[in-house]
Amino acid sequence: MSLGCPEIFPYYSKLKHEALCNFRPYSCPYAGSECAVVGDIPFLVTHLRDDHKVDMHSGCTFNHRYVKSNPQEVENATWMLTVFHCFGQYFCLHFEAFQLGVAPVYMAFLRFMGDEIEARNYSYSLEVGGNGRKLIWEGTPRSIRDSHRKVRDSHDGLIIQRNMALFFSGGDRKELKLRVTGRIWKEQQNPEGGACIPNLCS
């Protein structure tokens, strides 16, 4: 168990170190407002559940539906957050609508509730489809050390253009009904070759 940073610094370099220290508290990953709450992961999980009323799920696979009655309205900050508990860790699934240049898009991505190095131990896939077509995204979750905006602006996730999203929704193209499925798995190092082997969650 870690009891914090063991380093000792002169007062004039303390602030600089604290800004980059691996033991610094994490910021709340809630994207709907600029939440100033900071803390360790167990504290933030409780905060997300109790204060932001975020949906919490256990398991390494998920199947979510996103429904919007007027998909012509795409404003920045139209978003949803769900937290998953998997492999003893917590992951944040973000889904939002925003303008990419002049084009309205929907984006889904996963963030790991921990540091960047630990995040590299996991992979995830997201899939959306309908009418005989599908889009699949596979990647490594980003740490919540990277802000929601930084991940979104780097386009590190599944991006669905509005026309394609409406096509996947079927019907009269007047209502968004997207089904996003996904899974999270842990990468295992192969001791002989050094390659990663997916360790699928059962």
Q: What pLDDT score was predicted for residue 71? A: 61
End-to-end CA distance of the chain: 28
**CATH fold label, 56-199:** 2.60.210
Q: What pLDDT score was predicted for residue 135? A: 95
Residue of higher predicted confidence among 93 and 188: 93
CA dihedral of 139, 156, 39, 188, whole degrees rounded to 10: 10
Q: Cβ(89)–Cβ(201) under 8 Å?
A: no
Q: In sequence order, which residues have a C-beta less than 8 Å from that of residue 111 and are 6 or more positions away? A: 29, 91, 92, 94, 141, 142, 143, 144, 146, 148, 151
- Angle at the Cα of 106 (from 47 to 162), degrees rounded to 5? 155
Average pLDDT of the residues in 110-138: 94
Q: What's the CA gap between 195 and 187, in Å, rounded?
A: 9
Tokens matching residue 141: 């979750």
Average pLDDT of the residues in 77-94: 88
Q: What pLDDT score was predicted for residue 195? A: 47
Domain boundaries, the chain: 56-199
Q: Cβ(23)–Cβ(5) under 8 Å?
A: yes
Residue of higher predicted confidence among 41 and 147: 41
CA dihedral of 145, 148, 154, 156, whole degrees rounded to 10: 90
Its pTM surpasses 0.75: yes
Report phi then psi at 110, rounded to 5.
Answer: -115, 140
Q: Cβ(107)–Cβ(99) under 8 Å?
A: no
Quickly state the pLDDT bin for 197 (edges 50, 70, 90): low
Q: What pLDDT score was predicted for residue 148? A: 84
Mean pLDDT of the chain: 84
Query: For the ranges 110-114, 145-149, 186-190, which has the lowest average pLDDT?
Result: 186-190
CA dihedral of 169, 103, 31, 200, whole degrees rounded to 10: 50
Q: What pLDDT score was predicted for residue 112? A: 97
Q: What is the pLDDT of residues 179-195, one digit of tens each?
A: 899 999 998 765 554 44
In the predicted structure, residue 12 carries a pLDDT above the cut 70: yes
Query: For the ranges 71-80, 105-114, 135-144, which has the lowest average pLDDT?
Result: 71-80
Give percent of the chain with pLDDT exceeding 70: 85
Q: What pLDDT score was predicted for residue 77? A: 43
Q: What's the CA gap between 48 and 28, in Å, rounded?
A: 8
